[in-house]
Amino acid sequence: MAGVGSGSRPPLLLRERDPVAFGAALERAWRQEALVALAAPEEEPLLAEALAADPDPSPQGPSRESALPAGPGVLVPGGGSSGGRRWCLQPLAHLEASAGATGAWLEALGIDPAACLHLNPLPFHHVSGLMPLLRARQWRASHRRLAAGLMRDPDRLPEAAPHPPDRPVVLSLVPTQLSRLLGSAAASAWLRQCTVIWVGGASLPPELARRARGEEIPLAPCYGATETAAMVCALTPERFLAGGEGCGSPLADVRLRLHPGTSALEVKTSRLSPGRLRKGRLEPLPGSDGAGWWRSGDVARFSAGGVEILGRADGAISSGGETVFPEQLERRLTELADRHALPLVAVLLLGRSDPPWGERLVALVRAAEGQDPQSLLAKLRDLTAAWPAHERPRRWCSCPELALNGIGKWERPRWQHWLDSLEAR
């Protein structure tokens, strides 16, 4: 992997494998002061592209970009819902600081991190799946990988992964996994036996939160990013079960504020990524102000429950002079469909140019297998007929392949391209 800047050692690509072997390989690499690059197999060409040096660098003045620094760490992919994969550098010291802050959060609840069994069904090549392994390493606790197949067959979960009787169990999930598990009585009972279930990676839909409270599941909704080495705030299970909303208060090593003009959530922490990989070099994080604050891509507000994420700033659209957050409307549509027992599997709202409105929403809808998609579209159209015009989709499209990615996020550019192709037919 040449082209990462003069004097810097090429990062080691570490593929996901048996968790024990993966963890051992990671430890060996870090003992050798190596930087490890993580990528899903299908994303390895994108990583290679990011590592490749620019053959025609700009001659205009000194660049703020630099070669990758020496020392142990990871290049881990991020990017959220709005763009292609971007590899963030996270030094090992930042990952350890993140694990330490999360351990302190547990200690404040009276939970000994070292006594915990950390169950992890998330992929190692994302920060949400890497950090459980790092937390267990830092805390000298136990870590167990949960196979992806168990998430798709939740009735098997209690027998395949029984809870130990003598230690607290902590679990990391994304909302799509939680929803699937709550559909199984056996898995719901298994979840109830956990001590803490961090759920993040995407917003927790209100209907899913209601179901979890009804089952007395000890959820801890949280918020974080690849750029912050995962979690920066979390709501305690006690507050969640009491009806609290949002993602709780910042961890001990984090400060949060809202940008006065956009209400984008801004984060200050010593574990902020030094930058992103681009054309073989490291460039500063967009939104960094030089004083340690980083502006995320999420619009938020502060409430009694702490931080509430309203939606992606880059996913918001301007329609008829109003700012619309599609994620909020997607959650509302899902709740409506549940209330009326409609066979809705997934819905995604995309902004499309529509002068003089600016943009209007188009809904992509996936019906349950064996159900009539056109009938579902008609019922959803009727249910939203009284919505304000700027929130009401102007067009409804059946999309049988519509699905979140592996960590429960929408890859909106992919579905925009799908819609472009549909409209070009």
Residue 157, token pair as written in the block: 């979960």
| Residue 242: burial class (beta carbons within 10 Å; 0-12, 13-18, 19+) | exposed
For residue 5, being part of any structural domain is answered with no
Cα dihedral 10, 274, 22, 41 sign: negative
Task: Supply the pLDDT for residue 256.
Answer: 97
Q: Are residues 173 and 297 in the same domain?
A: yes
Which CATH number is 410's domain given?
3.30.300.30
Q: Evaluate whether residue 63 is within a structural domain.
A: no
CA torsion through residues 352, 354, 358, 360, sign? negative
Q: Tell me, yes or no, whether 259 and 324 share the same domain.
A: no
Per the domain annotation, does 224 fall within a domain? yes
Q: Is the pLDDT of residue 57 over 60?
A: no
Instruction: Name the nearest CA neighbour of 116 among 103, 100, 130, 101.
Output: 103
Record the tokens describing residue 355, joined without a space. 């002068």
Same structural domain for residues 102 and 236? Answer: yes
Residue 245 in this model has a pLDDT that exceeds 70: yes
Write down the residue that tokens 């169990």 correspond to: 169
Stretch among 81-95, 140-154, 242-256 having the lowest mean pLDDT: 81-95
Same domain for 112 and 130, yes or no, is yes
pLDDT at 63 over 80: no
Taking only the tens place, the pLDDT of each residue in 304-346 is 879 998 877 777 787 877 778 888 899 889 889 988 999 999 9
- pLDDT reported for residue 47: 87
Cis omega (within 30 of 0) for bond into 356: yes
Backbone angles phi, psi at 370, to 5 degrees: 85, -5
What is this structure's pTM?
0.78
| Tokens coding 65 | 């970009």
Phi, psi of 290 (to 5 degrees): 85, -10
Q: Label each residue of 42-93 as H, E or C.
A: HHHHHHHHHHCCCCCCCCCCCCCCECCCCCCEEEEEECCCCCCCEEEEEEHH
Can you read off the two tokens belonging to residue 48? Answer: 């290679």
**Two structure tokens written together for 229:** 């080495």
Report yes or no: 278 and 65 within 8 Å, Cβ to Cβ: yes
CA distance 416 to 157: 36
Task: Say what the pLDDT of residue 343 is.
Answer: 95
Same domain, 300 and 351: no
Task: Verify that 304 and 401 share a domain, yes or no.
Answer: no
Mean pLDDT over each residue of the chain, to the nearest integer: 88
- The reply to whether 300 and 324 lie within a common domain is no
| Stronger pLDDT, 101 or 282, i.e. the higher one | 101
295 and 357 share one domain: no
Phi, psi of 5 (to 5 degrees): 105, 140
Q: Is residue 15 part of a domain?
A: no
For residue 361, give Cα distances in angstroms to 324, 325, 326, 329, 357. 9, 10, 8, 10, 10
* Residue at a domain's end among 294, 312, 330: 312
Q: What is residue 74's predicted lDDT score, i.e. its pLDDT?
A: 95
CATH, residue 153: 3.40.50.12780
| Measured CA distances, 242 to 106, 209, 210, 306 (Å) | 19, 11, 11, 14
- Does residue 26 belong to any structural domain of this protein? no
Q: Residue type at 290?
A: G
One domain, residues 186 and 214: yes
* CB contact at 8 A, 239 and 222: no
CB 235 within 8 A of CB 244: yes
If 0-12 CB within 10 Å is exposed, 13-18 middle and 19+ buried, where does residue 244 land? Answer: buried
Query: Are the C-beta atoms of residues 251 and 233 closer than 8 Å to each other?
Result: yes
The reply to whether 34 falls in a domain is no
In angstroms, rounded to a whole number, what is the distance separating the alpha carbons of residues 111 and 70? 36
On whether both 302 and 353 belong to a single domain, the answer is no
Give, for 191, the enclosing helix (H) or strand (E).
helix 185-192
Sign of CA pseudo-dihedral 239, 241, 247, 252: positive
Statement: residue 8 has pLDDT above 80: no
Crossing angle of helices 92-108 and 127-139, in 10° steps, is 70
Domain total in the chain: 2
Residues 234, 98 within the same domain: yes
For 370, the domain range is 317-424
In a domain, 21, yes or no: no
Give the pLDDT of residue 295: 93
| Residue 205 pLDDT > 90 | no
Please give the structure tokens belonging to residue 328. Answer: 């909020």
Residues 175 and 263 in one domain: yes
pLDDT at 252 over 70: yes
Q: Is residue 140 part of a domain?
A: yes
